[in-house]
Chain A
Amino acid sequence: MSTIVDPAEILKSIENTPKMSASATELLSLTGDPNHNFCDVVAIVRNDSILTARVLKTVNSAAFSLMQEVTSIDRAVSFMGEKMLVGVALEVATAHLFDKKLEGYGGERGDLWRHDLRCAIASEEITKLAGTGFSKDLAFTGGILHDIGKSIISDYLKNTAEGALLQIEEGAYADYLDAEQNLLGTDHTLVGETLALDWKLPEPLRQVIRYHHQPAEASDEYRALVYAVHLGDLLAMMGGSGTGADNMHYTLDERYKDYLNLSNGDMELIILNVDEAYEKASESMAGGTDA
């Protein structure tokens, strides 16, 4: 199999990707710990002036429709909730990746962020309804980060979208992940995992990033969580939030039924709830991208 790019090139771009900000890394590991303390969360925000400014801007945006302007960080964080705080922190910390126009996928600027946000909300809704035993906040964060590898490999996929779609249509490639493998010898889940290791992300998030298209291969311990994001990802695409030409060209693993207790009626309810929550969240978290 000959690929259009040397894998070492891709590794080099991962190494050249800026590290996440210290506050985002700390927030991720802190909020992943079930026994963490609210004051510690506030302390992290306080120590990062950019994050502080963004948190206040978000909580005072129209979406929260608060009567009075909030100026204290404690109050801002409790209004916002930790899930949203982590979302804002990640958006600030990784803006250079989320904001990028995914040219290799034929996507527009902001598509990746919108897809990730919608997937995050869907994964959270699924976790709430299906009882995975995982916190819904962790599912949300996993959704935000699941496709982070796309922003790296997009650069190497330029002008490949049309050909990849044809090959999938003809059955030569099974789906878009397979197309990436054939074109590059790697794919966005593998590159994402390398990035996650480089960023020292907690284990459950690494599992989500690596296995969200092959949830059955995730480790036992985190498999239900990975299935939740697997479904959340597909629901985001069905809802019209994709990242370009690859949209909807991914395969459903039906064995989710062994891990998630969801009826067909539940799926419709999830779609409805996700649409409503997404509309609200994209208003307040739009930040640098337009949503």
Chain B
Amino acid sequence: MILGVGDFGAVNQAGEEVKTFALGSCVAVIFLNVKTRMVGMAHIALPDSSINTEKGKTKPGYFANTGIPALLDLMNRMGCAAGGVGMSVKLAGGASIMDPNNTFNIGKRNQLAIKKILWRYHLGALSMDVGGNFSRTVAVSVDTGKVLLSSPGKKDWEI
């Protein structure tokens, strides 16, 4: 399953993976549920849907405040416990361009907004790879539960 900007989804069949390409200032929120062997991901672009509530409804995955509840809801309907119970969380992305005074801090603001929403569910990130000045492609496989990252000019790594 390939996710574009603002998409979210979950997979639970052997051999399946969920993947998103080139996260710049966007952040991938990854949920892993061991009990059901399910992995979910949302490709979040902006912190809060208040700038366009209509878009928050038509494409909830685009914003942190609507994307996380929408993904948890989907995974609940697919068989996970409600309210994020039993979920492990990993985060990747939220990078920035070279910007010494943090003028364009969308990546950072995305990270903060996501952590705030996660706290509401009593969830914290088990591991994360965020910030820096490079884009990330992220893939998560059902079989291994491993989160693999890649970026042009770098060797692949895992979180």
Contact = CB atoms under 8 A, between A and B. Distances in A.
Nearest to B52: A272
Given A237-B24, A239-B24, A275-B6, A251 B152 contact: no
Given A107-B152, A162-B153, A275-B6, A234 B104 contact: yes
Contacts of B82: none
A248 B5 contact: no
Contacts of A268: 46, 51, 106
A241 B62 CA distance: 17
Interface residues of A, number: 33
Interface stretch (B10-18, B70-78, B83-91, B92-100): B92-100
Contact of B153 (A106, A175, A250): A106
A176 to B, nearest CB: 9
A275 B98 CA distance: 22
Given A237-B24, A238-B107, A247 B51 contact: no
Contact of B97 (A105, A107, A237, A245): A237
B26 interface: yes
Nearest to B5: A275
Interface in A136-192: 161-162, 164-165, 168, 175
B46 A165 contact: no
A277 to B, nearest CB: 13
Contacts of A239: 5, 24-26, 45
A164 B52 contact: no
A18 interface: no
Where chain A touches its partner, the secondary structure class is helix
Nearest to B104: A252
Contacts of A20: none
Given A238-B106, A265-B51, A250 B98 contact: yes
Chain B CB count within 10 A is highest, among A245, A247, A267, for A247
A240 B20 CA distance: 11
A251 B98 contact: yes
Interface of B: 4-6, 21-26, 45-46, 51-52, 55, 62, 95-101, 103-104, 106-107, 133-135, 151-154
Interface of A: 105-107, 161-162, 164-165, 168, 175, 234, 237-242, 244-245, 247-252, 254, 265, 267-269, 271-272, 275, 279
6 pairs of A and B residues whose beta carbons are closest in the complex:
A245-B153, A240-B22, A161-B153, A106-B152, A238-B25, A251-B98
